[in-house]
Amino acid sequence: MLSVGRILEGAFGLVRERYVAVAVWIGLYLAVNIAFMLTIMPMMGATMNPAAATDPGAMLGAMLPMFALIPVFFVVAVVLYAAAMRAVLRPDAGGIAYLRLGMDELRLIGLSIIFAIAGTILMFVISLALGLVGVGIAASGEPGVGSVLFSFLFMIGIFAVMIFFVVRFSLAFPLTLYRGKIVIGEAWTLSSGRFWSLFGAALGITLIMMILNIAVSMFTMGSYFYDLMSAAGDPEAVALAAEAQAQSYAQFSPVMILSSLGTAIVAGLGVALTGGSVATAAKLLLADEDEDAEDVFG
């Protein structure tokens, strides 16, 4: 039976039992992150150039290569996420840390694009609806506190709906990996009646990742935060602190290395926990659907 405890047990069990694979994932992310930082250092230097700051065209030209690197990070993230799910669904798959770059990953990329398009359309519809509500409130001539409260509650409702769909379709990724084809409808069907278990596990992992990210930020940016607090009320001191922090990331410095290492560790653990949790949930639910778990998962 599916429960928050069993999902989290599977996710943390992946970290405990496949710690070598998790270390490889961390190392891969670290290598890509450092390569990314070394690549964008000249670009960051160009954007900090006072001449570029006053020329929007020059600023955009300096930043475009950064945006071009985003697909590389996306592909690496998909490869790592697939490896984490494969470690749960196909523990005997073997290979180096369950890493692949083949049709499974291509299908997951396609699934991500489908969800991105659907999310964009949904956000457009929601924005349009919110705009119409705003026009209606303005036309009524009574904006007042009630309309502000209504808008706030409307936004909370939109957020809740988005979370609902994300959770209900979260099993699409492990099912796509398992079935060998893009799966969407089955994810919705399989998660029916299991929303709160899936949501509870996702919330728990999200809180853990938030705490880890805050810890890394405090460790690598503590001096910057201290400088900001010390410079409270002094715009010039705030600007100098921000410039010093930017320069520390624009060169191969201890701050950049520590930041990259901390980010990689958190990212690797995040991949293991998020990928492991949804794969564990899919594995448990498929077993509950009276499929032979031994035949399915080996």
Q: Output the pTM of the full model.
A: 0.81
φ, ψ of residue 54 to 5 degrees: the values are: -95, 0
Enter the DSSP assignment of 232.
T
Tell me the C-alpha distance between 51 and 17, whole Å: 53
**What was the pLDDT predicted at 298?**
42
Q: Provide the pLDDT confidence category of residue 283 given band limits of 50, 70 and 90.
A: very high
Distances (CA, A) of 129 to 115, 118, 149, 177, 195: 21, 17, 16, 36, 26
- Listed range (23-37, 138-152, 262-276) with the worst mean pLDDT: 138-152
Tell me the C-alpha distance between 179 and 185, whole Å: 13
Token couple for 169: 């379709």
Enter the DSSP assignment of 225.
H
Tell me the C-alpha distance between 197 and 2, whole Å: 7
**What was the pLDDT predicted at 68?**
74
